[in-house]
């Protein structure tokens, strides 16, 4: 059983031995926006919606097969969101502050200009920002009456959503967090893999409220909720949503990567046992930990992914459905040399220009709606290419720097050992678009592989839990899905180079001050 506790809904998915979905249930829950830029959840809504989808799934499972048993429970969750509760009674002491909430943005903005920001980046792999948990906990300690005193006395638990669920679901009332979630708090030193005393002091957060950090595949407790018919089932897999998807996609070796084409795009590349220090403002983060091998990942995001298609549909009225973009794009052979740069909210990695704005360039008289739809889909692929390219440069730099302390010759001989992307694994709503997947493969010059089951986030958590109880072995995680769709690159190298060149020029045109 995988419990996928997301930002807008809680889902429960049951998988069988063949990693096939047996049943899934989903429930949305309320979002609260008490002030402009603020986002909160009620921790009880998070818990109760989770319990209801778990319950409904088990009821349906029993209808199919009265003998069927849930072997293990895995949890994957919205990352960075902060919950605080009373250690004894379990009562939440404040609303959950959601990762999207900008209430601490000003404080974190100041930190960006402070030299200590670089120290934080070195320790945590994260770029100082209000997204991460630290400033949110600090805010609660500052604003909830009595919280700091109780926290210092050891009466308060802080956790991300995984911790909150584990505490409530387990007999043992375990107060723990998995290593991937810990790496998003901005209090966790990813090199020593422990809470960092200096950062706790900096953010003025009492150590007594922090959870124990555990591996992603580990015993967190046994389920205690009798009326769920899950009493005694081990909770033994936990990972943040993006890391869970990386694991669910079987990206366990350095250089393997997955991209999720949702509203935005989330690209994570496994970098093996090396925590790669990015020169392109990508995040360095923990990949899901199984056993004693510790793995890291680079993470980069594109703001406008599938959202570009929503823009075509809802703002321009050019499409009735998102899916229609595929046939329209394929109805023309190219964009007639035009490019859309969808920098509507600035540009993410590797450009990091919040002031950049969108542009449509290179149009000629024959330019029609179909060309615009095609240029829009192509822009998603180009943006993903840019992140992959930046990651590969970071990887090359990290590997050659380590291999060649003595000089350039060492660097050259080790170049062949630099892990590189052989295929890009994909998932998310817009990965359904065959044109987009083919164009991505063409632009990357490498195959794009889309598994049949695109519920890779939930699958990752299920695999982590199933591995712990021996329901699956490690081969089951990496075995190639025979039903996956593979898109092979077909574009001629000269055409690819020309298109990438055009894209680069178009992006340069929107960079602020360029």
| Chain contacts with ligand ADP (rule: CB under 6 A) | 262-263, 306-307, 309-310, 322-323, 325-326, 428-430, 432-433
Q: Which of 162, 98, 96 is nearest to 130 (CA)?
A: 98
- In this complex, which beta carbon is closest to ligand ADP, that of residue 160 or of residue 242? 242
Shortest distance, position 380 Cβ to ligand ADP, whole Å:
8
Shortest distance, position 450 Cβ to ligand ADP, whole Å:
12
Shortest distance, position 26 Cβ to ligand ADP, whole Å:
12
Shortest distance, position 321 Cβ to ligand ADP, whole Å:
8
Give the phi and the psi of residue 454 in degrees, each rounded to 5.
-90, 10
- In this complex, which beta carbon is closest to ligand ADP, that of residue 271 or of residue 433? 433
- In this complex, which beta carbon is closest to ligand ADP, that of residue 326 or of residue 394? 326
For 369, counting Cβ atoms within 10 Å of its Cβ (0-12 exposed, 13-18 middle, 19+ buried), the class is middle
- Which residue's Cβ lies closest to ligand ADP? 429
176-178 and 485-487 beta bridge pairing = unpaired
Is residue 463 a contact partner of residue 248, using CB atoms and an 8 Å limit? Answer: yes
Shortest distance, position 439 Cβ to ligand ADP, whole Å:
12
Biggest alpha carbon–alpha carbon distance for the chain: 72
Q: Which residues contact 344 (CB under 8 A, 6 or more apart)?
A: 303, 304, 311, 357, 358
- In this complex, which beta carbon is closest to ligand ADP, that of residue 128 or of residue 306? 306
Q: Which residues contact 149 (CB under 8 A, 6 or more apart)?
A: none
Instruction: Please give the Cα distance from 472 to 466 (Å, whole number).
Output: 6
Instruction: Please give the Cα distance from 217 to 261 (Å, whole number).
Output: 26
Instruction: Please give the Cα distance from 514 to 506 (Å, whole number).
Output: 11
- In this complex, which beta carbon is closest to ligand ADP, that of residue 75 or of residue 176? 75
- In this complex, which beta carbon is closest to ligand ADP, that of residue 398 or of residue 443? 443
188-189 and 194-195 beta bridge pairing = antiparallel
Shortest distance, position 326 Cβ to ligand ADP, whole Å:
6
- In this complex, which beta carbon is closest to ligand ADP, that of residue 172 or of residue 485? 485
Shortest distance, position 247 Cβ to ligand ADP, whole Å:
18
């Amino acid at each position: 059983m995988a419990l996928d506790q997301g930002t807008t809904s809680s889902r429960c998915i049951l998988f069988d031995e063949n990693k096939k979905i047996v049943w899934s249930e989903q429930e949305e829950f309320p979002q609260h926006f008490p002030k402009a830029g603020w986002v909160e959840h009620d921790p009880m809504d998070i818990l109760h919606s989770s319990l209801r989808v778990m319950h409904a799934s088990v009821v349906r499972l029993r209808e199919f097969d009265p003998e069927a048993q849930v072997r293990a429970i895995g949890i994957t969750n919205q990352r960075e969101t902060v919950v605080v509760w009373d250690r004894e009674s379990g009562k939440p002491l404040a609303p959950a502050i959601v990762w999207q909430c900008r209430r601490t943005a000003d404080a974190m903005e100041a930190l960006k200009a402070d030299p200590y920001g670089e120290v934080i980046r070195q320790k945590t792999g994260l770029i100082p920002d209000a997204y991460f948990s630290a400033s949110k906990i600090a805010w609660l300690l500052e604003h909830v009456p009595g919280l700091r005193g109780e926290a210092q006395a050891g009466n308060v638990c802080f956790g991300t959503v995984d911790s909150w669920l584990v505490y409530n679901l387990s007999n043992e009332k375990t107060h723990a967090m998995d290593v991937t979630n810990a790496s998003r708090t901005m209090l966790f030193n990813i090199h020593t893999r422990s809470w960092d005393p200096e950062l706790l002091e900096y953010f003025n957060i009492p150590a007594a409220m922090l959870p124990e950090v555990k591996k992603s595949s580990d015993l967190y407790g046994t389920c205690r909720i009798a009326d769920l018919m899950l009493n005694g089932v081990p909770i033994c897999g936990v990972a943040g949503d993006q890391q869970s998807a990386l694991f669910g996609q079987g990206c366990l070796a350095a250089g393997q990567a997955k991209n999720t084409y949702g509203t935005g795009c989330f690209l994570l590349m496994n970098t093996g046992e090396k925590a790669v220090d990015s020169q392109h403002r990508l995040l360095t983060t923990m990949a899901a930990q199984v056993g004693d091998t510790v793995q890291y990942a680079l993470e980069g995001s594109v703001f406008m992914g599938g959202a570009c298609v929503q823009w075509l549909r809802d703002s321009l009225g050019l499409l009735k459905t998102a899916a229609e973009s595929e046939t329209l794009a394929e109805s023309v052979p190219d964009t007639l040399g035009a490019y859309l740069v969808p920098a509507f909210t600035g540009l993410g990695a590797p450009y990091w220009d919040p002031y950049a704005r969108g542009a449509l360039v290179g149009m000629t008289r024959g330019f029609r709606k179909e060309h615009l739809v095609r240029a829009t889909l192509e822009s998603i692929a180009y943006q993903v290419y840019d992140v992959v390219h930046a990651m590969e440069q970071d990887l090359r730099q990290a590997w050659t720097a380590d291999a060649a302390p003595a000089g350039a010759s060492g660097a050259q001989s080790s170049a062949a050992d630099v892990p590189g992307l052989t295929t890009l694994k994909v998932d998310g709503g817009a990965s359904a678009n065959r044109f987009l997947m083919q164009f991505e493969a063409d632009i990357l010059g490498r195959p794009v592989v889309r598994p049949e089951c695109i519920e890779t986030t939930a699958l990752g958590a299920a695999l982590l839990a199933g591995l712990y109880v021996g329901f699956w072995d490690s081969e089951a995680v990496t075995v190639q899905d025979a039903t996956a769709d593979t898109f092979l690159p077909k574009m001629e190298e000269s055409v690819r180079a020309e298109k990438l060149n055009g894209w680069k020029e178009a992006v340069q045109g929107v960079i602020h001050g360029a």
